Structure 1
């Protein structure tokens, strides 16, 4: 019989709910665990207490993922034990309140000091997710960018401590391909730093959902992004209107655009996504409640449109939907609200056949 591996031991540990039983199992299997981790390449762990034995035994690890609170002590251990890391996924599931006292949270979540130790030791990091880590600020992320010059993916969503000064450094990157800033305090100035630096020639995906401090000047600066294919601006507040979205029409490279829940942007933005300007294949306008029949019909004859989401857009009619579906030869999916002006023609109608292709219609 072969010895138990790391995955099997972790599954057993996960099934034990009694704290004392867990401790006993941990002590009994500690030596087996160390041996099992020698060849471990990837680790997704939900029990940080195991790290003090797992990490020192995992010198070949290239991907580490943990969505629980981690102290600076564990970050230092990670830095000492796993210098070959390429992929660091530390996006956290729970909401951390930076104002809570240490005795309420247990040991503090890691901060810039802990992050700096890791990135200085693991300079070949290619992908890093720090979403929701509230104690991470400009200093830690700046150290990451300076040490890991091949960084291609960076997720800072929910990192409320970062400022526009950091975006000046991010804008200088030659390597970033995918940047997530959801819920960050980025302003128009920060966006200008991003759009005017080296990053404008390499960034392909920019996700800025729930960034409600940006407005016309910041959005207009994105016109300088030469390789941008994927842009997410959902839930960015009332400062983004049709005139701001109109400024994006000159970005010919856009393939995916998410404008969902921009309550003051609808008709002009959609009318400038036709064949005369940008031609995205995926458009999400869910929650844009001011979208009218005029705006929807502007998508007719769109040459590349494959996916169109109109959930919670109630001011359009089934007749307009049919017109768009029948004229967009590439369309394969459209999402609709059951509260549109004219109800769907018959119960359960969820497929449409045009130009020798089926279109899926999803109602919600």
Structure 2
């Protein structure tokens, strides 16, 4: 009896009901030939075993979404580029993204050579996640930004080799969502590149957490990105102050989510400007901004859009101030507070305030370091 051909194996595989994943997995485990056939029609490939990719990828021309949370070599990425030209989503975030990688885990990971191969061959990419791929630098990011004209989501969290040169290329793209958390080589010049190119007409979500080489001078440039709705400047260091925040937010009427956590030189002056200018603001995070007082809190009195306010590690106001403010905000749903404010709450077990027909939940924290550090 002659062995079954690939067409016959594919016919058998397609007879397995689409919802019966256990049988499909069993089919793929019979042999490498069976595995290749099983992956031929897949649009999404999630691999935790990079060594198997050399067998799987050549038989996966229809893959649109590729996920892998393990170290990959340049050869892996070059094979991906060759095998999956219609790729739209590339998700290479390592497992357990909140934890640092194990020592040496990504020592032999891919670099710009592999990423450039993917960018040049897979120019339909729309969404790319490269969290903590430590060998990726400007050459690979520039290639992505210039070759992939449909790119709308770029996540570079923890890509420590990325510099202002990458931001110059990104600034000429139409990306909607950009995450630069932990890209600590970025400076004010990079922010200027973002704000003066085509990106200023498209960008809606920007994360700059831990980019502590930027200052008010760079932050002010961002006020040209008028469509920005979500901005994260948390832990950006001592050189971001009220001067930059006030100048920035006076020109961003569409901002809905704002994170200024741990900017120790931001105080009531910023909050007065935010409360009066940012009328669409729904969420604001101010943990660690210890200079905020009653005056700053009152800046949001009567705000018609605010739903979430977080003030962990802020102590310079009383429970009466909180209650007065909260009862005036008809949409408020959540408050994050410290128990060590000036005047403690009247009931130690209070977990919500009733605001009209709705309730505002309260999260009390003894020590914010348990959450943020």
In which range does the TM-score fall when normalised by the shorter chain?
0.7 to 0.9
Which residue does the alignment assign to 2:5? none
The corresponding residue for 1:339 is 340
SS in 1 for 2:45: strand
Structure 2 residue aligned with 1:141: 141
Give 1:132's aligned residue.
132
Q: Residue by residue, what CA displacement relative to the aligned partner does 1:38-93 show, whole Å, maximum 9, x if unpaired?
A: 22111222221221222222211111111211100111111121111100011234
Q: Deviations over 1:240-291 (max 9, x none)?
A: 1122211122211111101111122131111112234554111111222222
Q: Tell me what 2:364 maps to.
A: 363
TM-score (ref. length: structure 1): 0.88
Between the aligned partners of 1:26 and 1:321, the Cα distance in structure 2 is: 60
Q: Alignment partner for residue 80 of structure 1, among 72, 79, 82? A: 82
Instruction: Write the distance in 2 (CA, Å) between the matches of 1:39 and 1:176.
Output: 30
Q: Distance in 2 between matches of 1:232 and 1:105?
A: 29
Do structure 1's residue 353 and structure 2's residue 357 form an aligned pair? no
When structure 1 is superposed on structure 2, of 104-113 and 332-341 the one drifting more is 104-113
Partners of 1:146 and 1:288 in 2: how far apart? 39
Distance 1:353-1:332 versus aligned 2 partners, 3 A rule: same
Q: Give the aligned partner of residue 177 of structure 1.
A: 176
- Return the offset for 1:6: 10
User: Match for residue 317 of structure 1?
Assistant: 318
Contact 1:5 1:36 in 2 (8 A): no
CA distance in structure 1 between the aligned counterparts of 2:342 and 2:48, rounded to whole angstroms: 48
Structure 1 counterpart of 2:370: none
1:6/1:259 Cα in 2 relative to 1: closer, same or farther (>3 Å)?
farther
The runs of 5 or more residues in structure 1 that have no matched partner are 13-24
Correspondence 1:223 to 2:229? no
Within-5 A mapping of 1:204-353: 204-250=204-250, 251-353=252-354
Aligned to 1:61: 63
Distance 2:221 2:73 in 1: 38
Partners in 2 of 1:186 and 1:261 — Cα distance?
19
What's 1:155 paired with? Answer: 155
In structure 2, what is the equivalent of residue 18 of structure 1? none
**d(CA) in 2 for partners of 1:279, 1:226:** 13
Name the stretch that deviates more: 177-186 or 313-322: 313-322
CA contact (8 A) 2:237 2:263 kept: yes
Contact 1:275–1:303 at 8 Å: present in 2 too? no
Distance in 1 of aligned mates of 2:68 and 2:293? 44
- Residue of structure 1 in register with 2:12 after alignment: none
Q: How many residues align?
A: 346
Q: Secondary structure at the match of 1:335?
A: strand
The alpha carbon displacement at 1:5 in A equals 9.3
SS at match of 1:159: coil
Q: Deviations over 1:113-161 (max 9, x none)?
A: 1001111111100001112111111111111112111110111121111
- Structure 1 pair 270–7 and aligned structure 2 pair: CA distance change class (3 A): farther
Q: For the Cα contact (< 8 Å) 1:215–1:240, is it kept in 2?
A: yes
Change (3 A) 1:132 1:106: closer
Shift of 1:108: 1.7
1:193-229: CA deviation from partner (whole Å, max 9, x where unpaired): 1111111111111110000000011011111112111
SS where residue 275 of structure 1 aligns? helix
Selected match of 2:53 from 51, 54, 61: 51
Q: Is the 8 A contact 2:28 2:34 kept in 1?
A: no
**How far is the alpha carbon of 1:11 from its aligned partner?**
8.2
The 3-state SS of whatever aligns with 1:247 is helix
